[in-house]
Amino acid sequence: MSMIQPDDLVGQTGTVVRSHPVKKILKNPMGLASVVVLLFMVVLAVLANVLAPFDPNFADIGKTLSPGDAVNILGTDSVGRDVWSRLVFGARTTLLSALLCAGVAIAIGLPSGLIAGYYGGKFDGVSNWLVNVLMSLPGIIVLLTVRAAVGPSVWISMVAFGILMAPGYFRLTRTAVQSVRNELYVDAARVAGLSDATILSRHIFSVVRAPIIIQTAVICGVAIAIQSGLEFLGLGDPSVATWGVMLNEGFKNIYLSPVLLVWPVLAIGLTIGALVLLGNAIRDALEDAEKIKAPKRGSNTAQAELATTRHRPERTISATVESGTEHHLVKVSHLGVGYPQADGSIKKVVDDVSFHVDRGEVLGIVGESGSGKSQTAFSILGLLPDNARIVAGSIQFDGKFTVAPTEDRVSQARLSEFRGKRISYIPQEPMSNLDPAFTIGYQLVTPMVRVLKISKAEARQRALKLLDDVGIRFPQKTFDAYPHEVSGGMAQRVLIAGAISCEPDLIIADEPTTALDVTVQADVLDLIRDLQKRLGVGVILVTHNFGVVADLCDRVAVMQNGRLVEDGDVREVLRNPKDPYTQKLLGSMLEGKEPMTMLVSAGMTAAEAAVRDDESDEKELAQ
């Protein structure tokens, strides 16, 4: 919009960073090549009258199947027509028919998709049924039938094919609209009083625009293919020169003059290929813009850099851990975890973190998002993403290294001895951590069968007992249920049952109550506390909630931006925090504060406080 682009702001932060998608397409070699090919075809089509020396249907009977010469540069076909002229005029017909097909498809599919997606209801039902009908029709068969009914015409068959292709646009638009329709920003626009038409054009059309362009490139390619196919069958209009007719002509004379096939095959292949590549290039250009932050995997330079700092692991290392620390259940020493970036550097998310957990002890790791608390927990479990690297430090479990001081990855072979059996995991989001396709019983029984090597019947007995232990009232019913049939709180109990099923020594709980309602959270905290006391396991509890820490933990470690800023006895840290960050976090707690008073902006306006908060955030990130 023009009204808020004052001159003094043009060219500032943001506008410079985002390069236009068209530029990106042209920078991509595939994109550039496809644009060049398509432009060439368009020029042929537009200038056909100038470029072609003959009328496409002018036949020189005396000169059939001749090779190329000065007059007929590409030679002549079996009735003496000039191949070059036919190729050039064919480009016109072919491109126009592809555009016609795409145009018809868009004209039908886009508006109906918008309406069906936005309003739903009866229109949606009817149009979906129609789409299902259209999509179960093989294109060629339909076009053959249409031809039988109305005779051979390039244009009519392309209109018919456009109708057949409309469901593609319809579905694309409908899905996009449905996903956006309930977005909060559309609600905000409704509250502001925007009309449906404005919401559709301003907020919703912008979402479908890009996929529509990509789809159009693909559809044009398909249209050219199908049209050429029809004409190749000899079912086209013989009086119109198209690439398909030329293909037919060439195939008839394949023994006499195979070169006649080469030109139409090249033209069709190049054009369709260019359209497909263009579609891909557009998609890449748009996705690129969305995923600026996504770390590129396997960058060679990054690996090279890693190789120089850390050496390949040696097999014998696991025996010799730091002496005098064997009694700790887990000991993490100077751990660093990082992700290789596209530019070859490594972005550290955990930096020089050390702590230990003893048997029967609960350690809380507290921090805000991006503090590296979950990454630390996952390194102990060996469940970091593939592209993560251990850049420093070591982890030992029960007197053995799981990550030795020189290794740059967690050894899966070594960890699989422990994982599930002696170290187990309680995840954050109960629903997404159960496989929806298997019963709860199956997901409890299988790990016991695999890890404890017990029979299925025995595992089943134990699973039912476990479900009873975690406070589920009807164990058998839950055992037989699928995950979507139980509540979130129940699913979390099931996951806890799974975590203790193989009698672990250490449980790593990653925000185990964050996704739950407060009253359910209190029950689940009670459950974890009881089980921990009864089984005497060590627990690492990752959380952002100091209340949860106070409820469960013996000791606590506070993390900020990948570093451990403070750790110690839970009473000590919560009552007399030493580190300013811990103080700030505890100061942000609302419990015990005088209502309606400022929390952080004493002596200044809230806006100033916000600016200061942003600045300190940026400083921390820059470090």
Partner 1 sequence: MSAADVNTPAAGPDLLTVAGLDVEYPLKGFRRKPFRALTDININIKPGETLGLVGESGSGKTTLGRAVLGLAPVTSGTITFEGNDISHASRGERRSLGKDLQVVFQDPYTSLNPSLQIGDILSEPLRVQGQEPAVARKRVKELLDQVGLPSDALNRLPREFSGGQRQRVAIARALALSPKLIVCDEPVSALDLSTQAVVLDLFLQIQRDTGVSYLFVSHDLDVVRHISHRVAVMYHGEIVEQGTSEQVTREPRHPYTQRLLLASPVPDPDRQAKRRNDRHELLEAQRKAEMSGATA
Partner 2 sequence: MVSFILKRIVSGISVLVAISFFTYCLLYFSSTNIARNILGEFASQEQVAAKEVELGLDRPLLVRFFEWAGQAVQGNFGASWFNSEPVIGAITTRLPITLTLVVVAMLCITIVATLLGMAAAIKRGWIDRLVQGAAVLGDAIPDFVLGIVLVAVFAINLHFFPATSSISPDAGMNAWVASMTLPVIALLINGVASVAQQVRSAVIKQMERDYVRTLRSRGIPEWEILFKHVLRSAAPAALTVLSLKFVGMLGGVVIIEQIFALPGMGALAVQSTSMGDIPLVMGVVLYTVVIVIIVNLLVDLINGWLNPKVRVS
Footprint on this chain of partner 2 (rule: CB under 8 A): 129, 132-133, 135-141, 144-151, 218, 221, 225, 228-229, 232-233, 235, 247, 251, 254-255, 258, 261, 265, 268-269, 272-273, 276-277, 280, 297-298, 381, 383, 416, 419-421, 423-425, 427, 429, 432-438, 446-447, 450-451, 482, 484, 495, 498, 502
Q: How far is CA 536 from CA 327, 362, 540, in A?
A: 15, 10, 13
By CB atoms closer than 10 A (0-12, 13-18, 19+), residue 18 is: exposed
Residue 603 binding partner 1, by CB under 8 A:
no
Minimum distance of partner 2 from residue 435's CB (angstroms) = 5
Residue 610, C-beta contacts closer than 8 angstroms, at least 6 positions apart: 601
598 part of the interface to partner 1, by CB under 8 A:
yes
- The item of partner 1, partner 2, none sharing an interface with residue 421, based on CB under 5 to 8 Å by kind, is partner 2
Could you say whether residue 611 binds partner 1 (CB under 8 A)? yes
Q: Could you say which of partner 2, partner 1, none residue 221 binds, taking C-beta under 5 to 8 angstroms by partner kind?
A: partner 2
**Do residues 194 and 202 touch, judged by C-beta distance below 8 A?**
yes
Amino acid at the residue 494: V
101 versus 285: smaller Cβ distance to partner 1: 285
584 binds partner 1 (CB under 8 A): yes
In the complex, the smallest distance separating the C-beta of residue 605 from partner 1, rounded to whole angstroms, is 6
Cα gap 516→488, rounded to integer Å: 7
Given the complex with partner 2, which of 131 and 189 has the nearer CB atom? 131
CB of 175 to partner 2, least distance (A): 13
| Contact with partner 1 (CB under 8 A) among 547, 568, 579, 620 | 547
Token duo for residue 523: 């029950």
> Which is nearer to partner 2, 194 or 210 (by Cβ)?
210
Considering beta carbons, is residue 355 or 425 the nearer one to partner 2? Answer: 425
Does the protein bind partner 1 through residue 181 (CB under 8 A)?
no
Q: Minimum distance from CB of 458 to partner 2 (Å)? A: 17
**CA-closest candidate to residue 214, choices 419, 387, 34:** 34
Pick between residue 344 and residue 587 the one whose CB is nearest to partner 1. Answer: 587
> Which residues touch 552 (CB under 8 Å, ≥6 apart)?
362, 364, 525, 528, 529, 532, 539, 541
* Cα-based torsion angle of the residue sequence 527, 528, 534, 539 in order, rounded to the nearest 10 degrees: 180
Nearer to partner 1, 48 or 212 (CB): 212
Helix (H) or strand (E) holding 558: strand 555-560
Query: Residue from 19, 49, 201, 206 that binds partner 1 (CB under 8 A)?
Result: 206
Does 194 engage in binding with partner 1 (CB under 8 A)? yes
**Shortest distance in whole angstroms from residue 178 CB to partner 2:** 17
Q: How far apart are CA 335 and CA 392, in angstroms?
A: 5
193 near partner 1, rule: CB under 8 A:
yes
The answer to whether 154 and 227 are in contact (CB under 8 A) is yes
Separation of CA 538 from chain center: 36
The minimum distance between CB 134 and partner 1, in angstroms, equals: 24
Which residue's CB is nearer to partner 1, number 65 or number 207? 207
Residue 247, binding choice from partner 1, partner 2, none, Cβ under 5 to 8 Å by partner class: partner 2
Nearer to partner 2, 212 or 267 (CB): 267
Cβ closest to partner 2, residue 483 vs residue 577: 483
State the DSSP code for 5.
-
The vertex-288 CA angle with 270 and 208, nearest 5°, equals 75
State the Cα–Cα distance between residues 303 and 65, nearest whole angstrom.
60
4/24 Cα distance (integer angstroms): 26
User: E strands within 125-189?
Assistant: none
Amino acid at residue number 398: D
**Shortest spacing between CB 246 and partner 1, in angstroms:** 44
Which region, left, alpha or beta, applies to residue 420 given φ > 0 means left and ψ of -120 to 50 means alpha?
A: left
- Please choose, out of 13-21, 62-70, 439-447, 452-460, the segment that lies near partner 1 by the rule CB under 8 A: 13-21
Measured distance CA(181)–CA(342) in Å, rounded: 36
Q: Phi-psi category of 575—alpha, beta or left, where left has phi over 0 and alpha has psi -120 to 50? A: alpha
Of 80 and 139, nearer to partner 2 (C-beta) is 139
Which one, 309 or 583, has the nearer CB to partner 1?
A: 583
- Contacting range for partner 1; rule: CB under 8 A; set: 147-155, 225-233, 532-540, 581-589: 581-589
609 touches which of partner 1, partner 2, none (CB within 5 to 8 A by kind)? Answer: partner 1
Nearer to partner 1, 366 or 502 (CB): 366
| 3-state SS, residue 559 | strand
Among 320, 412, 432, 588, binds partner 1 (CB under 8 A): 588
Is 473 an interacting residue with respect to partner 1 (CB under 8 A)?
Answer: no
188 binds, among partner 1, partner 2, none (CB under 5 to 8 A by kind): partner 1
**Residue 4 interacts with which of partner 2, partner 1, none, CB < 5 to 8 Å by class:** partner 1
Selection from partner 2, partner 1, none that 13 binds (CB < 5 to 8 A by kind) is: partner 1
CB 119 within 8 A of CB 174: no
DSSP type of residue 202: I
Nearer to partner 1, 150 or 610 (CB): 610
**603 binds, options partner 1, partner 2, none, Cβ within 5 to 8 A by partner type:** none
Residues 474-493 that bind partner 1 (CB under 8 A): none
Of 74 and 540, CB closest to partner 1: 540
Q: Which of 545, 568, 579, 620 binds partner 1 (CB under 8 A)?
A: 545
Contact between 623 and partner 1 (CB under 8 A)?
A: no
Cα 14–chain centre separation: 24
DSSP letters for 281-344:
HHHHHHHHHHTSSPPPTT-HHHHHHHHHHSPPP-GGGGG-PPTT-TTSSEEEEEEEEEEE-TTS
Q: Does 437 bind partner 1 (CB under 8 A)?
A: no
Establish if 517 lies at the interface with partner 1 (CB under 8 A). yes
C-alpha 369 chain-centroid distance = 21
Tell me whether residue 112 is exposed, middle or buried, using C-beta atoms within 10 angstroms of its C-beta: 0 to 12, 13 to 18, 19 or more.
buried
In the set 342, 550, 576, 580, which binds partner 1 (CB under 8 A)?
A: 550
